[in-house]
A and B are shown apart, each in its own frame.
Chain A
């Protein structure tokens, strides 16, 4: 079963929730899809790390063969090609690796070459397998890395898998939750938090994913995110208090469920609820 953890903005507690869920699940896989800023590994401190480079195809020009027809530049939706002073220039950072330019070139002056955009690391921490995607700084899209991370040959399908998503609701998040069986939305108890929760709520609804909400940083006072859930009839999976002890544990890059019995109990209960909810969904939906 694959459980994706997401939120409309950074800093709501996606990594906190997914790291702790993966730890209470004991034998599980944790996948960090937040490739621009992966930080789950800081808590797990994985060992026996194996690395794999991730590459994409980008065009390579043979200016001897190029006759300057510009069919490639006209075709490119992202304007990654310019023809200046009888020479074709490729802007690698703008290229989206569609391969179209080499297809439309009548002179076969364009071929493809590999470009490394980042890497995937695989390691272990106790019984948790840790997969981390790392996008090189300046690259346009982390999607090829996420596709590699979520390749089903990478981890055991019979174990629980936790996908720590990038923040927001853009295509990189869509790619991260594409194959998820259940989505856990993490929300903050503020009006801004509700705005961001609504973004991911719309996304999971659009993608017809079963989901529930974890209310993080809960205070005694009224919680606008909780109100939102009650109004929309959204399942609340659990409430995590705003607690300086938790903040301290996190700042020390430690895993709360390993440090404090109260939090082990809380996350076990959230995990049980998630699994139950996800099972119900698979039996009730066609």
Chain B
């Protein structure tokens, strides 16, 4: 299974980023081969709609699941349209969350917030 996690640093020792749309990097991790890849989140600097753009990046990475502490409405719509499951991270560190995911201990993310629009607008 390939999973995506928003992360603060390009390292497996990193913590999970507090934001999905505006995280600096995404970790793409394969739970079978244990291969990891870090990709830049080009949406981080967006004037608006960063959630949509970040979600497009995740979809294009062809992952099976997204592990994130939170997710906005528009981003969730993109992710769900691509049949990618969204799980809520329960630990600070990336490693702990991967372990919890592999053990099937991560809850699915049910609270989808309304988005933090209006960045650079109004």
> Does B associate with A?
yes
A84 to B56, CA, bound (A): 7
Footprint of B on A, CB under 8 Å?
A: 73, 76-85, 87, 89, 91, 93-94, 96, 140-141, 170-172
* B77 pairs with A89, CB closer than 8 A: yes
13 intermolecular pairs with C-beta atoms under 8 Å apart: A77-B48, A79-B49, A82-B53, A84-B56, A84-B81, A85-B81, A85-B83, A91-B49, A91-B52, A93-B74, A140-B121, A171-B121, A172-B122
B59 / chain A contacts, CB cutoff of 8 Å: 82, 84
Given A83-B56, A87-B81, 13 more pairs with CB closer than 8 A:
A73-B56, A77-B46, A77-B47, A77-B48, A79-B43, A79-B53, A80-B49, A82-B59, A89-B77, A89-B81, A91-B52, A93-B74, A172-B122
Query: Contact residue range for chain B?
Result: 20 to 34
B17 within 8 A of A: no
A73 / chain B contacts, CB cutoff of 8 Å: 56
Q: Could you tell me the dominant secondary structure of chain B's interface residues?
A: helix
Footprint of A on B, CB under 8 Å?
A: 43, 46-53, 55-56, 59, 74, 77-78, 81-83, 117-118, 121-122
A79 / chain B contacts, CB cutoff of 8 Å: 43, 46, 48-53, 56
Select one of A89, A140, A141, A172 contacting B78, CB under 8 A.
A89
| Shortest 9 CB-CB contacts between residues of A and residues of B | A79-B49, A79-B53, A94-B49, A78-B48, A79-B52, A84-B81, A78-B49, A82-B56, A82-B78
